[in-house]
Chains A and B, each alone.
Chain A
Amino acid sequence: DIQMTQSPASLSASLEEIVTITCQASQNIGNWLAWYQQKPGKSPQLLIYGTTSLADGVPSRFSGSRSGTQYSLKISRLQVEDIGIYYCQQASSTPPTFGGGTKLELK
């Protein structure tokens, strides 16, 4: 199975700050990478798919990028409603696998 390694495991940031979360794939997955946001007690919500495509209704302050097998999620100006846990997921091969998560908190 493809392993997805996220960093950092937790992150504390201020409002309006730029936040970047990274995800390293154990092998080539091309652009088959998705990001999800999960708030406490809620289901994960798709933010980005295909490395860079925003899901419906996702604010434009979220963006995704790739460098080789390293993927990044960037929040350009952190808002209160962005607090939660973020997961990356490879969609390249069966089984799809998720990263361990990054917990984003307000400083």
Chain B
Amino acid sequence: QVQLKESGPGLVQPSETLSLTCTVSGFSLTSYSVSWVRQPSGKGPEWMGRMWYDGDTAYNSALKSRLSISRDTSKNQVFLKMNSLQTDDTGTYYCTRALPGYNFDYWGQGVMVTVSS
């Protein structure tokens, strides 16, 4: 069955870089795109960016200067790197599979990231 699982540090120091990994199973990264979505506590989700099935990427312009998404298809993994973290980057980070367009049909369990010294 389709599964996505995020992994990475739960605590990041201000100004440092966040690195997260999304490991997928049950589908191919060359057939489906994967997006990263984050959600501050008590707020609505925010789309961060996307790795297309063909290897292309798209980013939210609000984060583009700090964000990089890449993949390793041999390991079924998609990576997120975001630099210059601040306290308002605190929240739960999800990776999601997208149907054609931007309909997110499967989500990982999420990883809680706290930015604090």
Residues of chain A touching chain B, judged by Cβ–Cβ distance below 8 Å, are 32, 34, 36, 43-46, 49-50, 55-56, 87, 89-91, 94-101
- The listed residue with most B CB atoms (<10 A of its CB), out of A43, A44, A98, is A43
Residues of B near A43 (CB, < 8 A) are 94, 107-110
CB of B26 closer than 8 Å to a CB of A? no
Q: Which residues of B contact A56 (CB under 8 A)?
A: 105
Of the four ranges (under 10, 10 to 19, 20 to 34, 35 or more), the interface on chain B belongs to 20 to 34
> Could you show 23 A-B contacts with beta carbons less than 8 Å apart?
A32-B102, A34-B102, A34-B103, A43-B108, A43-B109, A43-B110, A44-B45, A44-B104, A44-B107, A46-B103, A49-B99, A49-B103, A56-B105, A89-B45, A89-B102, A89-B104, A91-B103, A95-B47, A95-B60, A95-B61, A95-B62, A98-B45, A98-B47
Out of A55, A95, A97, which one reaches B105, CB within 8 Å?
A55
Please give the residue numbers on chain B whose beta carbons come within 8 Å of chain A beta carbons, in ascending order. Answer: 43-47, 58, 60-62, 94, 99, 101-105, 107-110
Contact of A87 among B45, B60, B107 (CB under 8 A): B45
